[in-house]
Amino acid sequence: MITQLIALISGIVFGIGLIVSDMFNPAKVLGFLDIAGQWDPSLIFVMAGAISVGFFAFRMVKQRGKTLLATPLYLPDSKMIDVRLIFGSMLFGVGWGIAGICPGPALVLAGSGYVEGIIFVIAMLTGMAIFEQLEKRRAMRR
């Protein structure tokens, strides 16, 4: 119960951060990606802050071996760069560049009632379901 409550509070804080920084706004994100036009570098500062916090948080939690609530820690252990990773990264980047939306901001947009956010979340969940089915088939072939 406490784990779910902390997850909820963390999600709310993350969503508020996206709103305060205006990073849920697709036009703001597309402005950052438009390096040949009217480039808006403000996303760099948001990313730098998130990466620096994440860097130290992941180092700390890896040393502990468990979360602050003493629940098991599940982090990817593969360091392999393969076709799946490259293709997935490219797919994410193309989608981000076309829509100006990624999963976190999409949830904020959908929760705010924006049609674009709702469509994105539906497409994201559909993609996740397809991936899950493909992974199950792949595992069965092994």
**Taking 90 as the threshold, does the pLDDT of residue 3 lie above it?**
no
Q: Mean pLDDT throughout 67-87?
A: 85
- Provide the pLDDT for residue 132: 95
Q: Mean pLDDT throughout 91-109?
A: 91
**Taking 80 as the threshold, does the pLDDT of residue 95 lie above it?**
yes
- Asked whether the beta carbons of 41 and 32 are under 8 A apart, the reply is yes
In the structure, what pLDDT confidence band is assigned to residue 130 with cuts at 50, 70 and 90? very high
Position with higher pLDDT, 34 vs 75? 34
| Tens-digit pLDDT profile for residues 29-61 | 899 888 898 899 988 888 898 899 989 988 888
Q: Mean pLDDT throughout 6-27?
A: 89
The set of residues, in sequence order, having a beta carbon less than 8 Å from that of 31 and lying 6+ positions away, is 38, 39, 40
CA 10, 122, 73, 86 torsion-angle sign: negative
SS3 of the chain: CHHHHHHHHHHHHHHHHHHHCCCCCHHHHHHHHCCCCCCCCHHHHHHHHHHHHHHHHHHHHHHHCECCCCCECCCCCCCCCCHHHHHHHHHHHHHHHHHCCCHHHHHHHHHCCCHHHHHHHHHHHHHHHHHHHHHHHHHHHC
- Provide the pLDDT for residue 123: 93
> What share of the chain in percent tops pLDDT 90?
46
> What share of the chain in percent tops pLDDT 70?
100
113: alpha, beta or left, given left = phi > 0 and alpha = psi -120 to 50?
A: left
